[in-house]
Structure 1
């Protein structure tokens, strides 16, 4: 089938001009994988599940192993998918699935560089502190899974990203979630793409295509006794006791009191399958290719029905080659009536799966990058004293003992002060907030904005230390350490003019000098 499809493409047909019709989802999966392996694009509403990818299965089992190194099933699955499917370097399945009995020799030997630490145990840096997405990218690089573009891996990364956004970034949680939702995760390809469509016959009704393939035209016309159940009834004693019975279908029902219902169901099943055959045969606008895999000479199926019709029809038999079992009629050339239409959708081919180290993607600037911790117990010896008080005041919303306690504990947790300095800092903060004039700006009645950024149209950013919004005035308070400078007044005047342009009225400007504990009022003009 693959060679024939490629021949049609060379004749001038597009991939989107081709439909592959199948009866069952398992056949859709087989056809889709064959097309993907041949580097053909595929659109399928059937069973292109991520769990069918060895690379995805490898990653999922690596997640399981990293969270539970005693899971022998996960280790066997890792070896199987990695060595047999991905590297294609090992074929002894017995050795793979009995590796536990051999002290995990294969598992220790074939894992890639970086998987094991210098002590021979699992490299703890693989999992340490990483989100599920970052971990996945690291494993893709470590196991060489991204050397070529892979639609399954790309979609799997999308699924992980969506899970992280909606739930959490924890690998433990994802493995549990995946077990429950893995059947829902499939490859997504836009309908406008130039790609071959793989569909079940049930879903193709009403659609047509220039070229149609039916690679598995051998489905049974009879009721499947292994899986089908049916309702039956009888007016014969003792079965007339109930209106209906739910029984497993079997040809033997034709010789029972339920024969009428069984024969009716068998006839309807044959009719349904004939209708499917009719639908499949009438979807092609230009060319129809049918494959008839062998399925028992005596079974009543679509393939045998087609062959019997070709052999026994005087009209059709003329083009039937009994020796090769092939039937050819019509021209193999491209009719030329199907022209490319510009849908506005463009596809770009990736040469490899693009991943990068999470640490290289984003640079986080620490809030206290210039702060150097000091171990002096006395506040007067601290070089950072002014900066620490400045930060503490930005945390204060109101004056109370509870608020003071919370602010000091927050400073300790951030590493700005140590626990031994706690009592001294509490006294310092209480003394500052006891100032009568300063105190009025730390009440719960006003709306306060601490270190709130103001972004101007030209992109410049300003951040006043404290803006208090009262019903009839706007107070701007800026904290300064060290001696008085003219620049301090210039800066707070700029804050005032910006707020004035923003529509705030009755603006008052104040500088609080931490070291000398003095407040300076600045005229806005």
Structure 2
């Protein structure tokens, strides 16, 4: 925090204070009047209509949070520049039906009102008051305010001494030919192949559950989180809780879940090339590290190569020996992967 950058640029300083109607969140509201108080919480869509209901307090609370988030974001950005702050905002369109419309719906509206006010600031040891509108050019729609600021221009001369820029010769390509959509089976349902769809969704669900389990005591909470998200019925949650509890108390893996290690679940590792790798579970002790990848389907060779990469990244980072395992919880199968993707099945 504080002054972090010489220059800060914000190209789109026009984010809304309130939620967009098309992207309104669902509020989990608590009612104190019958018949709604029969439920601990009720899902209601965020809308101005809630002001006329028993959920008006939830509505105004959420509105306050939304405004606060926007103001905080603006504050953080505006207080990071040491020398220059450059922002781009949209000018509020005039409405013939509302001649004196002073409403503030987004950060652009707020900034436009601010630059039409006076501000008092300290320059050196003196306090000075500035009329900010004096620094706003309505024709160019540029607000330029500076104190003892000098702009340095650097000239780059090529070998040919030709510094002209020919816009007609500038290479340009259609962006449509550069963008492609990459679909992942974990991000959409394969409705045409029900068997694959079921396996993909099951594996994703199990990963969600295991990423919130540090010790055996976390199993119930993690499973019930998916129940509350609507991904499991109550009966399915109870059955899955019992199944996972039995799995992680198996003699070969229970030490991974007994609290004897410091645990990082789904924590990102940054490679030298700038790519990100995310192992499912890393266990820390003073003598060694253990990296574990959970699998809920058929075994593939690429899993071993993936685990090899995790191990090398962790060894370089922590300078400690690292053991790496592929773990198939539902089959209670453990494969230790050693240097060169060699594997050893632990029964």
Coarse TM-score class (shorter-chain normalised)? 0.3 to 0.5
Structure having the larger proportion of residues in strand: 2
Structure 1 or 2: larger helix share?
1
Pick the structure with greater CA Rg: 1
Give the TM-score normalised by structure 2: 0.47
Structure-1-length-normalised TM-score: 0.32
